[in-house]
Structure 1
Amino acid sequence: MKLSLSTLAAGIFYVASVDAASASQCRCVYGQSCWPSGSDFSQLQSLLSQSLLYPKPTASQCYSTSGASDDCSDVIANYTSGIWRSDMVGSMEAPNWESYIFQNGTIAACYPETNITGACDQGNVPVIAVDARTPADIQAAVNFSVMHDLRMVVKNTGHDYIGRSAGRGALMVWTHNMKNITHDGSFVPEGAPPNETYDAFTLEAGVQWFEAYAAANATGRVLVGGLSAGGSVGAAGGWIQGGGHSALSSNYGLGVDNAVEMTVVTSTGQYLTVNAHQNPDLFWALRGGGGGTYGVVTSVTYKTHPALPALVAIFSVNSTNSSLIQQLFTESYTMLPSLSDAGWGGYGGIDNTSVEFIYLSPNVSWAQANETWTPFFERAANLTSAGLNITAAETLQFPSFYTLYESFFGTPTGQNGGNVILGSRLIPREVIENNNDEMCTAIFETPGMSWNFVAGGKVSTVDPDSAGLNPAWRKAVVHITWGASWEDGASAEDIGQLAAGVKEQEARIRELTPESGCYFNEASPFEEDFRYTFFGDHYAKLKEIKDKYDPHQLFVVTQGVGSEEWDDELTCRV
């Protein structure tokens, strides 16, 4: 059986028997003769504010040194908590990226069920990490990596469906503990005229959305950010660099539309402030051109918005009659363009027996909300005699976005800790308006389908060339995702079959949206034309900017800008 990145997703491949660094144009990884010595790392340590760390996979504490099962009740109790996982340097939110598949199909990993392997292996988790607390820490790590030609990865929380935060044999820069939050009601970007002011928050690289939301709420303001279980996603890392969608985007734009300034360390060791007036090309690229690609972002400054009451529409139904489910789902999708125009956004999911969604808006009145939703809810009620069971169909009002967030997203468990690969697609407004039935049939027939209703509205009014973001976002109204998951201990062959299924489903959706693309942060690691799919017509410009600010080509991630120049392991030039 031949294994390759195009058929498997549990790890990044690396042929351990080959001394890659001995070949021309290859990075050095742990275990090779080129790996820095103890004295080399001691010199690095002397430049750092914190001790070097030695990451371990999440379940490693379940194993004793003899390989027998140890007490891992803490692991089992918190395994699906994004906040708990993000506090551990070696933990990834999707544990399949902690695993590593060798070319013979052997999987190196650590599992809570220790009898699966009997021993814990480092897998795809980097072997050493810099616990960055200051830009100087990051500069030291970058300079060290360039000097020794190391493979380097950047990790904040480890929320990543493509595995960019992990790397077997690599050095990690861990930004998670850079937690400073600063509010300035009249923030002026560096180099801007004094009358260009924003009510803004500056968030250091390790700030997570649950922390940022609380800080903004304390000042009566709102930040456009991600919504996930517990708010554990990083607010100033890969989220913004990939584009940054939000349930508030139809009102206020994407994350990239709300960022007014960033600070970043480049591969030359420079510490730069970037905005529309200073290094504007890099500012353009960092807003949607992909995380881990141009440098290490150390902070992001976001403009804020007034805290307003928020309306929520909740809908959840199930039935053994799948045609009823498909009917209601298709009808709900016809509403999406007008809903986005009215400022609604949110999330939903569907299978053969159920459909549910939660949509919110901070910019409509109670009367407007009822006018929008009552007819749809009444049509659903009329189907109960045909076998439809309604578990929720109502609108609710909250005094603020923050109280809504705490009510629906405050629990930190449920989203993380599962082995998963995704497929995804941005669905253009014109497809919903002109070919909704066929599109909805394809969605309905794709297992594991969910959607992020986070486009349209304000997102569609922004100049597509204002940021490095994939221009397909400006034509989209919804972002759909599907995927495959598996239990620990699945074989490489089984995982490969699941990956092949995701690719087949992807091909069907792509046929209906040939000129669209995907959201880089929630996508498949097997895109056949990632340059267009993730970056659209902006790719050539993004590549020029990368080459300018990363002359050492230190920042290389799976399917990121410039990665086509590297092998599947991202260690050797091709």
Structure 2
Amino acid sequence: MLLKALLLFLVAHIDSVLSLNNTPGPQCRCLFSDPSCWPPADEFDSLSHQLSQPLISPVPPESACYPPSNPSGNCTNVILNSANGNWRANQSGSMESFNFETFIFANGSISACYLNTSLGVPCEQGSVPPIGVDARSAQDVQAAVAFAVKWNLKVVIKSTGHDLLGRSSGRGSFMIWTHNMKNISFDANFIPEGGPHNETFNELALTLGAGIQWNEAYAAGESYGRVIVGGTSFGESVGAASGYVLGGGHSVLSPTYGLAVDNVLQFTLVTSSASVLTVNAYSHPDLFWALRGGGGGTFGVVTSVTYNTHPPTPATLILLSVENFSSGAIAQSVVSKFLSLHPTLADLQWGGIASFDSSFFSFSGVAPDTTLAESNAAIQPFVDFVRNATAGSGETVQFSTVPFDSVYVLYDAYIASLGGAASSSAGLNGELVSRLFPRELLETEYEKVADTLLGLGDLVSYVLAGGGAVSKVDPNSLGLNPAWRKALGHAILAGGWADGTNATGIHQVENQLKGYLAVLEELASLYEKNFQQTFFGDHYARLESIKDIYDPVDLFVVIEGVGSERWDELLDCRKA
């Protein structure tokens, strides 16, 4: 059950050395551990006078449970909230997946601060940046960026810490924390900056600051009578204007309204020159192309995102589960039948998620703008198939459909309500691998796909993320990997481990995940041999050229991001 909870969380869940690129030989960032280059205290004092908030010194939140703890530390509070995604997002030193707070040295020793104090190991900083800026405005970000460039610091951009590749942390780095950039505005007739004055746009748009989370964005949309395309996670704690959208952003509404990037009208961001840019189809259109799918933390520090919105619509929630498959053959038949049904569901613009292994199957589907009768008619043949396949075999089948007045009410009742500590799986150790499945494969080889996924032996989460409106967008109109336009499903598998597991045990889990690469092609994971093709497809070269224009000093380097292959494994030093 722990691994199942971890996987469901990960699904829901996920961006002065001006001649750095041109100077031959390795070039290293200055890290906190190097007193020969780290800025002196008076320089940090000077920086603090330029900021709206005091500098922050992020620490692992678990440090409150170690004497002598931070005077403001409250171990009981940490224990109660450690698995609450929204609480973790509010801590500058907390990552949603605990393992990204830790650091494994080359000799196998681990620097970490475990919640389980009985392990008898000291509380250490791990990969949590030791100092940073609590940015509340673009001006705060400008000051932080200029300071980082001046002192050649390794920069980490963090909003909520949900990034599942660990891009929100970095040992010895300088953090730009955008979580408290909470501005929201609504425009009933949004006109992109630089757009032609004689053109009527008529777009009802929400502009979200970089720290806005989906629970806040959905509530804002509801207050204006609008729907915004966004993610689903326990408590809706994922950031709405940070890494989620910069990576593409799939949603249960994507088959109806497209991916998050398909709904973006404008960005504002701070580049490595400390310039504030407004970016849209008319202003810096090359960067607008790149930001829509080119990856978070890569081109600059995004300070706001403006989304197109949609009118409210009723929706039906479909819930189906099968417990205790009596045989692998029955499991295979159910999963195969579901995968064969997915193209039809995509044409109906359904979204949702299925989870399954050899003993379990569940499906939570969302059918926007669909009556209860229409939803039942679409799913009933599959339900009948499941009941017939399991008749007399001892399985437990549960099925229900629930109508809601709007998608927001559905979110509030079924997703946001799961945000408490007892329901969320934040605070665990875990990594994942995933793959997009194109429509053609599901139409012709669904049995092979089912056999392959079930044969891996782990719980699979299968997201109904594509098709419908997603497939109708010109794949070259934005920087997102073109593979999304042919994809229907997104299959995800995760591996986890307990606190205190040594490096050998952690590497065993990682090797298990690596082993999936031999079975499933083009997986997107920490272990990609060719992340450029997997994440960005044939858009990579153009993305790289745009990065070089707007970030010529390579300040913004993230794990498996555009240009990261120029750097060593830790992203500390540029390769010779």
TM-score, normalised with respect to structure 2: 0.92
Counterpart in the other structure of 1:503: 514
Task: Report if aligned partners of 1:261, 1:274 keep a CA contact under 8 Å in 2.
Answer: yes
Of 22, 31, 34, which aligns to 2:33? Answer: 31
CA distance in structure 1 between the partners assigned to 2:58 and 2:307 by the alignment: 31
* Cα shift at 1:385: 2.8
CA distance in structure 2 between the partners assigned to 1:533 and 1:71 by the alignment: 43
Task: Report if aligned partners of 2:430, 2:495 keep a CA contact under 8 Å in 1.
Answer: yes
Runs of 5+ consecutive residues of structure 1 not aligned to the other structure: 1-22, 511-516
Runs of 5+ consecutive residues of structure 2 not aligned to the other structure: 1-24
Task: Report if aligned partners of 1:208, 1:233 keep a CA contact under 8 Å in 2.
Answer: yes
Task: Report if aligned partners of 1:266, 1:296 keep a CA contact under 8 Å in 2.
Answer: yes
| Equivalent runs, 1:210-225 vs 2, <5 Å | 210-225=215-230
Task: Report if aligned partners of 2:89, 2:161 keep a CA contact under 8 Å in 1.
Answer: yes
Task: Report if aligned partners of 1:566, 1:573 keep a CA contact under 8 Å in 2.
Answer: yes
Task: Report if aligned partners of 1:381, 1:390 keep a CA contact under 8 Å in 2.
Answer: no
CA distance in structure 2 between the partners assigned to 1:357 and 1:373 by the alignment: 11
Of 365, 380, 383, which aligns to 2:386? Answer: 380
CA distance in structure 2 between the partners assigned to 1:187 and 1:388 by the alignment: 57
SS at 1:329 equivalent: helix
1:389 has 2:414 as partner: no
CA distance in structure 2 between the partners assigned to 1:54 and 1:257 by the alignment: 37
1:118 has 2:129 as partner: no
* Cα shift at 1:505: 1.1
Counterpart in the other structure of 1:5: none
1:461 has 2:472 as partner: yes
Task: Report if aligned partners of 1:377, 1:394 keep a CA contact under 8 Å in 2.
Answer: no
* Cα shift at 1:24: 4.8
Distance of aligned partners of 1:66 and 1:414 in 2 relative to their CA distance in 1, 3 Å threshold: closer
Counterpart in the other structure of 2:438: 428
* Cα shift at 1:71: 6.3
* Cα shift at 1:65: 2.3
Counterpart in the other structure of 1:95: 98
Counterpart amino acid of 2:534?
T
* Cα shift at 1:450: 0.7
Counterpart amino acid of 2:265?
V
CA distance in structure 2 between the partners assigned to 1:66 and 1:91 by the alignment: 16
CA distance in structure 1 between the partners assigned to 2:268 and 2:77 by the alignment: 37
1:340 has 2:342 as partner: no
1:230 has 2:235 as partner: yes
* Cα shift at 1:363: 2.4
* Cα shift at 1:384: 4.0
After alignment, is 409-418 or 199-208 more displaced? 409-418
Moved over 4 A (4+): none
SS at 2:317 equivalent: strand
Task: Report if aligned partners of 1:314, 1:395 keep a CA contact under 8 Å in 2.
Answer: yes
* Cα shift at 1:381: 2.2
Counterpart in the other structure of 1:325: 331
* Cα shift at 1:230: 0.3
SS at 2:399 equivalent: strand
SS at 1:92 equivalent: coil
Counterpart in the other structure of 1:556: 557
Counterpart amino acid of 2:339?
Y
Task: Report if aligned partners of 1:237, 1:297 keep a CA contact under 8 Å in 2.
Answer: yes
SS at 1:42 equivalent: helix
SS at 1:507 equivalent: coil
Task: Report if aligned partners of 1:289, 1:542 keep a CA contact under 8 Å in 2.
Answer: yes
Counterpart in the other structure of 1:47: 50
Counterpart in the other structure of 1:9: none
Counterpart amino acid of 1:490?
T
* Cα shift at 1:218: 1.3
CA distance in structure 2 between the partners assigned to 1:370 and 1:253 by the alignment: 24
| Equivalent runs, 1:416-455 vs 2, <5 Å | 416-446=426-456, 447-455=458-466
1:571 has 2:550 as partner: no
* Cα shift at 1:391: 4.4
Counterpart in the other structure of 1:365: 371
| Equivalent runs, 1:201-280 vs 2, <5 Å | 201-280=206-285
* Cα shift at 1:535: 0.3
Task: Report if aligned partners of 2:330, 2:390 keep a CA contact under 8 Å in 1.
Answer: no
* Cα shift at 1:551: 0.9
Counterpart amino acid of 2:451?
T
CA distance in structure 1 between the partners assigned to 2:381 and 2:220 by the alignment: 38
Counterpart in the other structure of 2:412: 406
Deviations 1:510-536 (A, max 9, x none): 1xxxxxx56xxxx42111100000000
* Cα shift at 1:161: 1.0
CA distance in structure 1 between the partners assigned to 2:448 and 2:384 by the alignment: 25
Q: How many pairs are equivalent?
A: 540
SS at 1:111 equivalent: coil
CA distance in structure 1 between the partners assigned to 2:465 and 2:253 by the alignment: 7
Task: Report if aligned partners of 1:349, 1:356 keep a CA contact under 8 Å in 2.
Answer: yes
Deviations 1:419-454 (A, max 9, x none): 001010001111111111111111112213112111
Superposed CA RMSD in Å reads 1.4
Counterpart amino acid of 2:514?
K
Of 46, 50, 64, which aligns to 1:61? Answer: 64
Counterpart amino acid of 2:169?
A
Distance of aligned partners of 1:388 and 1:309 in 2 relative to their CA distance in 1, 3 Å threshold: farther
TM-score, normalised with respect to structure 1: 0.92
CA distance in structure 2 between the partners assigned to 1:278 and 1:426 by the alignment: 32
Task: Report if aligned partners of 1:228, 1:415 keep a CA contact under 8 Å in 2.
Answer: no
Deviations 1:320-377 (A, max 9, x none): 4132222111101101111111110111211221100101021223222111111211
Task: Report if aligned partners of 2:325, 2:395 keep a CA contact under 8 Å in 1.
Answer: no
Task: Report if aligned partners of 2:208, 2:217 keep a CA contact under 8 Å in 1.
Answer: yes
CA distance in structure 1 between the partners assigned to 2:217 and 2:534 by the alignment: 31
CA distance in structure 1 between the partners assigned to 2:162 and 2:285 by the alignment: 28
CA distance in structure 2 between the partners assigned to 1:567 and 1:182 by the alignment: 41
Counterpart amino acid of 2:30?
C
Distance of aligned partners of 1:142 and 1:225 in 2 relative to their CA distance in 1, 3 Å threshold: same
* Cα shift at 1:117: 3.9
Distance of aligned partners of 1:247 and 1:101 in 2 relative to their CA distance in 1, 3 Å threshold: same
CA distance in structure 1 between the partners assigned to 2:65 and 2:27 by the alignment: 39
CA distance in structure 2 between the partners assigned to 1:88 and 1:117 by the alignment: 24
Counterpart amino acid of 2:243?
G
SS at 1:483 equivalent: strand
Deviations 1:121-170 (A, max 9, x none): 00000000100000000000000000000000000000011100000000
SS at 1:357 equivalent: strand
CA distance in structure 2 between the partners assigned to 1:143 and 1:502 by the alignment: 39
Of 472, 479, 482, which aligns to 1:471? Answer: 482
Of 180, 185, 193, which aligns to 1:190? Answer: 193
* Cα shift at 1:388: 4.6
Of 59, 73, 77, which aligns to 2:76? Answer: 73
Counterpart in the other structure of 2:131: 128
